[in-house]
A and B are shown apart, each in its own frame.
Chain A
């Protein structure tokens, strides 16, 4: 090859080599985080400062990171997995990739929001709500149960994100609770009612605020994100299934698991304890408006207290197995 090409090649390889020097020390605690960097980095940095533990994080999509951990096998670099939802944790636990959480670190969290086998624990809770446009839906008109959404009076007024992991988990929870047939009928009813599909929760909520649809099926905390971006936006949350005998509201969790075979077990435990501690829980309370699950921290006053909320009574650890079936169901109905 020509001299100039060789020179260019050498220069570029050198540059790539320089770039390689970003790799930190091998003694760091490695976290794989499906939670967004902009959100998590401050609290992880505070952990590193407070405890002196060096931490290295790789951010990615929760499901892709879970697949990565599975592909890596026993050689996984991860010590801790911070998941956006319980499904991924349950799936990893089912495949034996998560270690039992040491001692009593998970005790502070309500049993509903952690693995009964002790292999993962929820850090914050996220409720599945009906967000509605306050200008177009008077409060009295709001459906008590989501099953009412198949009524023709909601024709062309509903929006939801069927491909979103939270929604699929929601379908799994419904299937567990009321059975596959009833869930399928509900989904088919939604489709027949002209419900609009969106890519994710944010876009769905924006559509509600813009009046493109009147109600949206999203996670509760997106409302507060919307208020931050567009104060005074005409949207509010309605927690479905709260009437007596109702199916309840679905509360999923973002949570942590320690990887089987990690050589940083002690530091990993400290991270779990920290994220379930007062500082971190208050951080989540204000920064994301999620439900704190530990340290006795109350959620924002606008939110109904967890203790008083009627919650869908479905073991979260079962959702990992059900996700595939739910995906099939959605495809059958033609929503994905």
Chain B
């Protein structure tokens, strides 16, 4: 079964982590030491705050775009999701430059440290919640809300009693992604100097050559992940299936009246902070820079590699997300829970940990794939699969299983029923998941650096190469191209997601 295969693949880095951790001199002492506890505390605090704020942003923005009459909804949808194309390390450098000591714009105290890290990660991750929530809202049967209105509920009550419960699975899934992404992030927290477990792990690998100690910290990260996954399952609730219906009329939208433009401005303020400011700083500095710049053909080849690898990862992740998503939603078994936890546990692992695990397995046991693009794609899928799974799950949960039953009574096999009935209905959600995987893979750095074939670059690795000599001079052209290519892909990807959902 596909579920077993996926679980096995995802467990690889975890197995390797445990293997290395067991080599430590005194793993238990290290794991429970004051230092580890401090790092863990900081990590959880950061992740919790970021998740709370990002979920609120994402849900509110999704509701505004799907249930009110703000203008230019298509374009606005793309703009709101724009921070997805900015790597967190670029966002952090720009924030520090614009608002930190010796600021370009204005000094905001606390940019370096917890507040800056929380702000950067919130701005970078709210689109995850936004996209999944929006896909759900777009695919839901409007009859529910209309019925509530016709029975006399005022709009606010309709929101609370009908819309919010519908959104619970999506908010929970998106929130989990945000939480785990924050756990694994290295770029923003290292630049804005807030030491989380991941920073400690990287620091250990970089300054000592003992692979056991960072592995013990990595196990702490995995433990945190499992707790988060369990919390999310409770938060998801027994999502009573709502009805997603194909070819339906659009959901009712609230007229905003004189609030239309202020709300639009408020909506725009968020992506302006998350994407506009870093882009502006990047362009400004790059235009001043006196660097020798990158050769065009190097950048072009890197762009092709980036897009090819990321697209492959997105497709594979989505294809694998469907069977596991169905398994988890339709068959509430222990096995399903295990598969889901295994698949999700890898998301919080720093890319370096995943990379070294794959180096170990591939170099020693499967040399054929070692240092090939296929292994890089595999690493991306392991790292980002939960994005596709979360989106798939939320969408599948919104489909009434009765529809498939109908198809089966009419003679379809279960797989065919799945394919002909459910898949078209969840296409929007799947496309949203695929878009997320694509965009996250474009930005990925640590695993790409270690696993790529010699001579292959992605745009992210070019940014890294240039940044060694001073970020703006060499790294800016690659960073701008990375953002541009991702942004170009964002538009069509979102349209695909939205159209699929609204059908």
Q: How long is the Cα–Cα vector from A331 to B305 in the complex, in angstroms?
A: 40
Q: How long is the Cα–Cα vector from A199 to B377 in the complex, in angstroms?
A: 30
B474 within 8 A of A: yes
Instruction: Indicate if the CB atoms of A57 and B465 lie closer than 8 Å.
Output: no
Known: A16-B373, A19-B456, A61-B206. 12 other contacts (CB 8 A): A2-B423, A13-B312, A20-B373, A22-B456, A23-B453, A58-B452, A68-B450, A71-B360, A72-B359, A73-B363, A229-B290, A327-B204
Kindly report which residue of chain A lies nearest to residue B101, judged by CB atoms: A212
Q: Which of B172-231 contact A (CB under 8 A)?
A: 190-191, 193, 195, 203-211, 213
Stretch at the interface among A30-38, A292-300, A308-316: A30-38
Pick from A2, A22, A88, A326: contact of B455, CB below 8 A.
A22
User: Can you list 12 pairs linking A and B with CB atoms under 8 Å apart?
Assistant: A5-B319, A12-B311, A16-B377, A23-B372, A36-B469, A38-B466, A75-B364, A91-B209, A163-B206, A206-B470, A207-B102, A229-B290
| Interface SS of A by simple majority | helix
Distance (Å) between the CB of A252 and the closest chain B CB? 14
Residue in B190, B203, B309, B474 with the greatest tally of chain A CB atoms within 10 Å: B203
Q: Which of A280-336 contact B (CB under 8 A)?
A: 320, 323-324, 326-327, 331, 336
Distance (Å) between the CB of A1 and the closest chain B CB? 7
B414 within 8 A of A: no
Q: How long is the Cα–Cα vector from A297 to B191 in the complex, in angstroms?
A: 38
CB neighbours of B473 from chain A (8 A): 229
Q: Which of A252-289 contact B (CB under 8 A)?
A: none
Distance (Å) between the CB of A222 and the closest chain B CB? 10
CB neighbours of B364 from chain A (8 A): 72-73, 75
What mask results when residues 453 to 477 of chain B are scored 1 for a CB within 8 Å of chain A, else 0?
A: 1111000000001101110011000
Supposing A2-B419, A15-B312, A75-B363 touch, asked if A63 and B450 sit within 8 A by C-beta, the answer is: no
Supposing A12-B315, A77-B371, A229-B470 touch, asked if A19 and B309 sit within 8 A by C-beta, the answer is: yes
Pick from B213, B311, B423: contact of A15, CB below 8 A.
B311
Instruction: For chain B, give the interface size range.
Output: 35 or more
CB neighbours of A70 from chain B (8 A): 209, 211
A108 within 8 A of B: no
What mask results when residues 233 to 256 of chain A are scored 1 for a CB within 8 Å of chain B, else 0?
A: 000000000000000000000000
A109 within 8 A of B: no
Distance (Å) between the CB of B475 and the closest chain A CB? 11
Task: Give the 9 A-B CB pairs with smallest separation, nearest first.
Answer: A91-B209, A72-B363, A324-B208, A58-B454, A63-B206, A56-B454, A71-B359, A16-B312, A71-B360
A8 within 8 A of B: yes
Instruction: Indicate if the CB atoms of A68 and B419 lie closer than 8 Å.
Output: no
Q: Which of B399-457 contact A (CB under 8 A)?
A: 419, 423-424, 446, 449-450, 452-456
Q: How long is the Cα–Cα vector from A92 to B468 in the complex, in angstroms?
A: 24
CB neighbours of A63 from chain B (8 A): 205-207, 209
CB neighbours of A134 from chain B (8 A): none
Distance (Å) between the CB of A317 and the closest chain B CB? 13
Q: How long is the Cα–Cα vector from A324 to B453 in the complex, in angstroms?
A: 31
Instruction: For chain A, give the interface size range.
Output: 35 or more
CB neighbours of A326 from chain B (8 A): 207
Kindly report which residue of chain B lies nearest to residue A172, judged by CB atoms: B207
Q: How long is the Cα–Cα vector from A324 to B213 in the complex, in angstroms?
A: 10
What mask results when residues 58 to 70 of chain A are scored 1 for a CB within 8 Å of chain B, else 0?
A: 1111011111101
Q: Which of B330-374 contact A (CB under 8 A)?
A: 352, 356, 359-360, 363-364, 367, 370-374
Distance (Å) between the CB of B72 and the closest chain A CB? 28
Instruction: Indicate if the CB atoms of B209 and A64 lie closer than 8 Å.
Output: no
Q: How long is the Cα–Cα vector from A24 to B371 in the complex, in angstroms?
A: 11
| Interface SS of B by simple majority | helix
What mask results when residues 7 to 18 of chain A are scored 1 for a CB within 8 Å of chain B, else 0?
A: 011001101101
Residue in A5, A19, A212 with the greatest tally of chain B CB atoms within 10 Å: A19
CB neighbours of B312 from chain A (8 A): 12-13, 15-16
B143 within 8 A of A: no
Residue in B204, B207, B352, B473 with the greatest tally of chain A CB atoms within 10 Å: B207
A145 within 8 A of B: no
B304 within 8 A of A: yes
CB neighbours of A37 from chain B (8 A): 465
Q: How long is the Cα–Cα vector from A165 to B206 in the complex, in angstroms?
A: 7
A210 within 8 A of B: yes
A76 within 8 A of B: yes
Residue in B210, B213, B305 with the greatest tally of chain A CB atoms within 10 Å: B210
Q: How long is the Cα–Cα vector from A326 to B340 in the complex, in angstroms?
A: 41
A193 within 8 A of B: no
Pick from A15, A20, A61, A225: contact of B449, CB below 8 A.
A61
B308 within 8 A of A: yes
Instruction: Indicate if the CB atoms of A77 and B450 lie closer than 8 Å.
Output: no
A177 within 8 A of B: no
Q: How long is the Cα–Cα vector from A16 to B456 in the complex, in angstroms?
A: 12
Instruction: Indicate if the CB atoms of A16 and B211 lie closer than 8 Å.
Output: no
B73 within 8 A of A: no
Distance (Å) between the CB of B202 and the closest chain A CB? 9
Q: Which of B275-301 contact A (CB under 8 A)?
A: 290
Distance (Å) between the CB of A219 and the closest chain B CB? 13
CB neighbours of B203 from chain A (8 A): 163, 327, 336
Pick from A12, A36, A66: contact of B308, CB below 8 A.
A12
CB neighbours of B209 from chain A (8 A): 63, 66-67, 70, 87-88, 91-92, 320, 323-324
Supposing A1-B423, A202-B469, A331-B35 touch, asked if A68 and B356 sit within 8 A by C-beta, the answer is: yes
Q: How long is the Cα–Cα vector from A13 to B312 in the complex, in angstroms?
A: 6
Q: How long is the Cα–Cα vector from A320 to B305 in the complex, in angstroms?
A: 36
Instruction: Indicate if the CB atoms of B469 and A9 lie closer than 8 Å.
Output: no
